[in-house]
């Protein structure tokens, strides 16, 4: 059974390797490209640094001098989920202080609010396309350390994918489409013709979590998602259950 991966190329390859180990054939069709940005970061102003993705950790680290990286170890750290927490620990050699039980910005906000003291300022290294949940809820400062750009070859790749889907369907096989962010879904579906959208409604769609599901389903789907731990690892059992 073929699984379509819409993550950025590098992360898509990691997801592909994970799925191939579980017996799936994968089609990598990135609908995002990650571009890391230069940013001025003054750590002296902040008690907390909160990350909403592994890319935020990487982009943040790219902007730090050695002495700044050492200062990070004195800060309290929040992470939206286990993937982000692992990336921070791998990069800085320090465990994060807060991870919410459910991996959404709303749950992260609630968990951080319980621990932030009066007068403590919060920095969120992120992307311009981020939601404003943490900014508004924590009065946090955002620093843009990466951006998610739309590849120019999506329409061309979708035409090839449509041929593959039709071919698989002619053999009574379905494809599984996966989406790991709302933006991967938006960039994918906005280039689909009405006819292709109807074909896709007969396939399986798996979203990484509730925010992504909301974006996917706005295009007329009812996508599946993990019950908890909104990570690509948690998507694998959902995908395996469809391999019938």
Confidence of residue 10 (pLDDT cuts 50, 70, 90): confident
Q: Are 189 and 219 in contact (CB under 8 A)?
A: yes
Of how many residues is the chain composed?
A: 244
Distance CA 56, CA 50 (A): 9
pLDDT in tens, 131-160: 899 999 999 999 999 998 999 999 999 999
Q: What is the DSSP string of 189-221?
A: HTTS-HHHHHHHTTSEEEESSHHHHHHHHTTT-
pLDDT in tens, 53-102: 999 999 999 999 999 999 999 999 999 999 999 999 999 999 999 999 88
CA distances to 1, 12, 162, 222, 241 from 169, in Å: 11, 24, 11, 20, 19
Distance CA 239, CA 7 (A): 16
65 and 38 both lie in a single domain: yes
14 and 44 both lie in a single domain: no
Residue 171 sits in a domain of what CATH number?
A: 3.40.50.10090
140 and 162 both lie in a single domain: no
Full domain range(s) for residue 187: 2-32+151-240
| Of the residues 123, 148, 173, the one at which a domain ends | 148
Q: Are 124 and 140 in contact (CB under 8 A)?
A: yes
Distance CA 87, CA 145 (A): 15
Distance CA 121, CA 136 (A): 13
Strands 146-149 vs 33-36: parallel, antiparallel or unpaired? antiparallel
Number of domains composing the chain: 2
235 and 191 both lie in a single domain: yes
């Amino acid at each position: 059974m073929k699984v379509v991966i819409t993550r950025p190329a590098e992360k898509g390859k990691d997801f592909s390797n994970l799925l191939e180990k579980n017996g799936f054939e994968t089609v990598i069709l990135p609908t995002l490209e990650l571009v890391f940005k230069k940013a001025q970061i003054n750590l002296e102003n902040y008690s907390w640094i909160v990350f909403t993705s592994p890319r935020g950790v990487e982009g943040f680290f790219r902007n730090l001098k050695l002495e700044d990286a050492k200062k990070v170890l004195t800060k309290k750290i929040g992470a939206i989920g286990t993937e982000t927490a692992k990336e921070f620990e791998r990069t800085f050699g320090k465990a994060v202080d807060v991870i919410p039980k459910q991996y959404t910005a709303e749950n992260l906000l609630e968990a951080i609010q319980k621990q932030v003291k009066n007068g403590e300022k919060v920095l969120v290294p992120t992307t311009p396309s981020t939601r404003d949940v943490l900014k508004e809820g924590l009065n946090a400062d955002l620093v843009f350390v990466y951006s998610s750009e739309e590849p120019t070859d999506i329409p061309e790749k979708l035409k090839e994918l449509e041929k593959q889907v039709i071919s698989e369907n002619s053999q009574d096989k379905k494809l599984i489409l996966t989406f790991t962010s709302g933006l991967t879904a938006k960039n994918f579906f906005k280039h689909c013709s009405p006819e292709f959208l109807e074909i896709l409604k007969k396939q399986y769609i798996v979203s990484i979590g509730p925010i992504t599901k909301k974006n996917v389903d706005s295009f007329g789907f009812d996508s599946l998602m993990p019950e908890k731990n909104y990570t690509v690892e948690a998507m694998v059992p959902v995908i395996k259950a469809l391999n019938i």
